[in-house]
Structure 1
């Protein structure tokens, strides 16, 4: 059974439609800037971020917006885009055959800060909003999207940090492949907040050395890399089996060939080269493809010292330095739960537009990252099959394979 991408949508730091986003990538733009509001946060060493472009949520139902945080709003808007792109009306769905697979790293950090600040200020739980919990519960994004858009099918909400939306898409593929569902709406969302930046800062994974030149960081695979920059946004893809696509008379934008997710138990925050190699190999096996079929790798590489080196070694060990590799984190920043399907979308667009986007800020490849064929600039080239990686704190490793479909 073949499973296809029939639509996608995204709200990001580089644009609020796929065409806007891809235009920004072609122009090699960076969304990273100084976040002056973070200057007042004591102990925070990273003051850089990549906020989402302004968006309009007033078109969402007013009653639904009462329980929505910014990340739920972004997710709902991205889902509306994806459904429109797929020419899919939820009213026409057989909900017993439909899945919503969507998540976030945590509940809304904006909501969490407000909730616990009130408890601290009042020495109690008085004066809490009746809608507060629905913004901070772990499955807030998925539930709010379902309620706002009227989805009554199956709902699952992965919460696996920076692998969330990649895992959501792979789960969607698995469950369609199993025969349980025909369609899966898959994605993830996160908000940019100093609490998120502080998490990475506390484990020395956030960029600290480029406050005077924000757009020079992050620097995936570069000799001068010093950490990641948090971003935000939402990204959603529609996965659909061939029979459903044919029945609706819609077209495929690409094939989701397969993927894998594995846990590595070696460390909570440090990636393991062997386990990265293993999950990529398993993704290829489940896709029915060989490493020789892969023509491009979308790397997770966020600009951290250890993570980039481990991923470069894993990719080099599997592909032998013969496959072009790039990361888009220096363009977008790190959108955490949104990055997996965000990079699925951008990789599909590269394939359909006949271009590969290079790694921004990669000026001098670090010796420990030299095992792969790095793309430093954009180049026009046909790509039929690509592999995409996402790795998360907690040892969650994901990898999936997509194929171009002739239009």
Structure 2
């Protein structure tokens, strides 16, 4: 069976660096940090009091107050990002078969803030079980996929994907495979996360996973820096419209790039720590290259998982040198989480969007906040420290790894008509 080609025909995103694709990309290239003091709740007693929030977001600008109240913030962000992507791809009931348009949408955690608030409200009462009737529909992480399909009337494959911080990358792979196998013409693939809350920040603080650099939030996310001390939490939503190539051509869609393939593996090692030799990371990049039918030397840029944790950054860098050999030193590597923070289940899709923009514009966004070289890292690797670099980017690879040992990787390639 010959697999169908998959192209990207629409993009939409809300991130700590901007509430549309253009602002997000401009701020990435300019090395802007999205970190600042937390405003979404009173974090004064928490070990970490800063994060990368989506700024200036008012859901009532995009939906009425009644609808907004029925949605957790993660689903609000998801709906708005999907609206952007659908408009960008010029999809309507007039030019597509809605029975063959699907939504595969990811989240690592879902409506954690809704869960937190409902339990707090119950605990402060007299024990009588009074819960909001929308408690469960607001909380469950598959509701974003359902809400998007209902909003736009899409009746194709519809479900959620969850694999912690690898969630939306796994969603992209699953969506692409559905199209390659002819099960859908178009799929809205993406992810959303919004857990900058007491439960989210407190929980990750308890794991000692996050930076506590409260005196200097904007430089706290320091991938590959000797003094990195943990990730900075972010929130975001992103949607990529994946479409079968001939279908896109037939309806005259603009094509941004081609999604060549992806890979998924497990570390099978530790609950939260990566394999120290980068075994899972190595295997997932090899799997993605094989799936894409590409050689290592065809890749120009890698957007790494690069969370700014002491163990993770080194393991991934080691895996890159093993997979790419001498070509590793011709690559540009960057960790855009230095600017966006770690957006958990949404990280994969917004970083894939960064790769798509890099392929389109032939610019590699930087890894900012690098001050002190880490002697354990190969000094000959080009981590694109502190300043964007112009170069031809024919193909880019995006890595995302999640708690539980989940690894996922996608490859996008320049489209030539």
For the 8 Å contact 1:106–1:136, the answer to whether it is kept is: no
The answer on 1:3 being equivalent to 2:13 is no
Inter-CA distance 68–90: structure 2 relative to 1 (3 Å threshold): farther
| Comparing 180-189 and 349-358, the one that deviates more | 349-358
- Give the aligned length: 404
Task: Indicate which of 295, 301, 320 corresponds to 1:296.
Answer: 301
Matched residues in 2 for 1:368 and 1:194: separation?
Answer: 35
Task: Indicate which of 185, 188, 192 corresponds to 1:189.
Answer: 192
Match of 1:308 in 2: 313
Q: Secondary structure of the residue that 1:297 maps to in structure 2?
A: strand
| Comparing 5-14 and 360-369, the one that deviates more | 360-369
Q: Secondary structure of the residue that 1:231 maps to in structure 2?
A: coil
Matched residues in 2 for 1:299 and 1:38: separation?
Answer: 32
Q: Secondary structure of the residue that 2:16 maps to in structure 1?
A: coil
Matched residues in 2 for 1:375 and 1:349: separation?
Answer: 16
In the superposition, the TM-score normalised over structure 1's length comes to 0.95
Inter-CA distance 201–90: structure 2 relative to 1 (3 Å threshold): farther
What does residue range 213-224 of structure 1 map to in structure 2 within 5 Å?
213-224=216-227
Match of 1:338 in 2: 346
Q: Secondary structure of the residue that 1:250 maps to in structure 2?
A: coil
Task: Indicate which of 231, 239, 243 corresponds to 2:242.
Answer: 239
Matched residues in 2 for 1:230 and 1:164: separation?
Answer: 16
Tell me by how many angstroms 1:335 deviates.
1.0
The answer on 1:51 being equivalent to 2:53 is yes
Segments ≥4 residues shifted beyond 6 Å: none
Matched residues in 2 for 1:252 and 1:365: separation?
Answer: 40
| Comparing 357-366 and 193-202, the one that deviates more | 193-202
For the 8 Å contact 2:157–2:184, the answer to whether it is kept is: no
Matched residues in 2 for 1:102 and 1:194: separation?
Answer: 25
Task: Indicate which of 360, 368, 382 corresponds to 1:373.
Answer: 382
Task: Indicate which of 282, 286, 311 corresponds to 1:277.
Answer: 282
Task: Indicate which of 200, 204, 210 corresponds to 2:204.
Answer: 200
Match of 2:413 in 1: 403
Tell me by how many angstroms 1:373 deviates.
2.4
Matched residues in 2 for 1:397 and 1:114: separation?
Answer: 32
Q: Secondary structure of the residue that 2:410 maps to in structure 1?
A: strand
Task: Indicate which of 389, 393, 414 corresponds to 1:383.
Answer: 393
Tell me by how many angstroms 1:67 deviates.
2.2
Matched residues in 2 for 1:327 and 1:153: separation?
Answer: 34
1:2-38: CA deviation from partner (whole Å, max 9, x where unpaired)? 2101011001111011111111122211111122644
For the 8 Å contact 1:291–1:319, the answer to whether it is kept is: yes
Matched residues in 1 for 2:252 and 2:372: separation?
Answer: 48
Matched residues in 2 for 1:80 and 1:2: separation?
Answer: 25
Match of 2:252 in 1: 249
Matched residues in 2 for 1:229 and 1:252: separation?
Answer: 34
Tell me by how many angstroms 1:264 deviates.
2.2
Inter-CA distance 13–360: structure 2 relative to 1 (3 Å threshold): same
Matched residues in 2 for 1:316 and 1:205: separation?
Answer: 26
Task: Indicate which of 87, 92, 100 corresponds to 2:90.
Answer: 87
The answer on 1:228 being equivalent to 2:237 is no
1:51-89: CA deviation from partner (whole Å, max 9, x where unpaired)? 102124233366543421111111111001111111112
Inter-CA distance 39–56: structure 2 relative to 1 (3 Å threshold): closer
Q: Secondary structure of the residue that 2:76 maps to in structure 1?
A: helix
Tell me by how many angstroms 1:360 deviates.
0.5
For the 8 Å contact 2:102–2:149, the answer to whether it is kept is: no
Tell me by how many angstroms 1:135 deviates.
0.9
Matched residues in 2 for 1:123 and 1:366: separation?
Answer: 55
Inter-CA distance 90–334: structure 2 relative to 1 (3 Å threshold): farther
Matched residues in 1 for 2:145 and 2:384: separation?
Answer: 35
Q: Secondary structure of the residue that 1:249 maps to in structure 2?
A: coil
